[in-house]
Amino acid sequence: MNTPRIIDGKAAAREVLAAVKHEVEMLCAEGLQPCLAVVLVGNDPASRVYVRNKVERCAEVGICSIEHLLPADIDQATVLALIADLNADPRVNGILVQMPLPKQIDEAAVIQAIDPRKDVDGFHRENVGALSLGQPALYPCTPSGCMYLLNQVLGDLSGKHAVVVGRSNIVGKPMAALLLQANCTVTVLHSRSVDAPRLCREADIVIAAVGRPQLINADWLKEGAVVIDVGINRIAEADRTRLVGDVDFASASQKAAAITPVPGGVGPMTIAFLLQNTVRALRQQLSVPGAHHAL
């Protein structure tokens, strides 16, 4: 019977957060407390939980956070005006707009309105472009967290064949770019791929970011693959609901050498890297005179 290593995302996130906390303490000693502005539009319960978690983690590592809670029927011009204010505010180092936004708001326009130096989600085209050129920038948090876990399990990734299942702008595409930067051979599978399980069986590393509960099972894997499950899906069972990933954990465990659980795998890493990006943003701004209140 195969017994895979269960990759502990909570423990890894604690390591990253401890390092962030240490860096924040050093910055605070110089009078430079990092500050994250979080914008939440409407009352979506899941988004409220995400925002609350981010604010709580900020407090734990000593990052100041400012919440902007806007009504669901707000118009686009008002959201863009708030972003402009936050861009101009020298006390604010990072800006996070919680997605999804209500229908009347153009998400792409809001993302592109954020000053790329404060874009701690790494979604602005300037940061996306820098990532694809292999230049330093603010990189998206979830793929950065996946890379941290992969490096923990495998060390050097050079020459590994990585298959990314999903091509979204927030996970699949930046994930592929980071794996390429780490010298992997990268295949990206998506909804139009033909015979995805066969292609996936070639992989040393599988990243599942599909948004389909338990799609990827043992049939998609070769023996010894390392499996990172980004998916977060709530499924209904007899008398309750349960969170599952895009990987069928029980089935995949028959072949994987190492696998992330859901919950407790990639999820905690995303917030940890959001806070790391906030500190990185501050440091980047310090190199630009006048960009921070303490200069």
Q: Active-site residue numbers?
A: 54, 98, 121
Other Cβ atoms less than 10 A from the Cβ of 288: the count is 10
Tell whether residue 231 is a contact of ligand NAD (CB under 6 A). yes
Tell whether residue 193 is a contact of ligand NAD (CB under 6 A). yes
Tell whether residue 189 is a contact of ligand NAD (CB under 6 A). yes
- Report whether 167 belongs to an annotated binding site: yes
How distant is the alpha carbon of residue 77 from its chain centre?
27
**Which of the ranges 41-49, 73-81, 121-129, 231-239 carries the binding residues for ligand NAD, by CB under 6 A?**
231-239
Residues in the chain: 295
Please say which residue, 91 or 234, places its beta carbon nearer to ligand NAD.
234
Residue 185 Cβ, how far from ligand NAD at the closest point, in Å?
19
| Half-sphere exposure for 81 (CA within 13 Å, toward CB) | 6
Residue 267 Cβ, how far from ligand NAD at the closest point, in Å?
4
How many residues bind ligand NAD (CB under 6 A)? The answer is 25
DSSP per-residue string spanning 135-148: --S---HHHHHHHH
Binding ligand NAD by CB under 6 A: which of 42, 62, 102, 211? 211
In terms of Cα–Cα distance, which of 206, 202, 205, 200 is closest to 220? 200
Please say which residue, 161 or 212, places its beta carbon nearer to ligand NAD.
212
Within 112-151, the residues that bind ligand NAD by CB under 6 A are 142
Identity of residue 8: D
- Contact between 160 and 185 under an 8 Å Cβ cutoff? The reply is yes
Tell whether residue 266 is a contact of ligand NAD (CB under 6 A). yes
Structural tokens at position 4: 């895979």
Tell whether residue 13 is a contact of ligand NAD (CB under 6 A). no
Radius of gyration of the chain (CA): 19
3-state secondary structure of 40: strand
In terms of Cα–Cα distance, which of 281, 288, 282, 286 is closest to 139? 281
Tell whether residue 38 is a contact of ligand NAD (CB under 6 A). no
Binding ligand NAD by CB under 6 A: which of 111, 230, 247, 279? 230
- Report whether 168 belongs to an annotated binding site: yes
Residue 93 Cβ, how far from ligand NAD at the closest point, in Å?
22
Residues 193, 68: Cα–Cα separation, whole Å: 41
Residue 207 Cβ, how far from ligand NAD at the closest point, in Å?
10
Q: Which one-letter DSSP state was computed for residue 91?
A: T
Binding ligand NAD by CB under 6 A: which of 21, 161, 212, 283? 212
- Contact between 112 and 223 under an 8 Å Cβ cutoff? The reply is no
Q: Where are the alpha helices (DSSP H) in 62-140?
A: 76-88, 107-113, 125-132
Give residues in contact with ligand NAD (CB under 6 A). Answer: 142, 165-168, 170-172, 189-191, 193, 196, 209-212, 230-233, 246, 266-267, 270
Annotated binding site for NADP(+): 166-168, 232
Annotated binding site: 166-168, 232
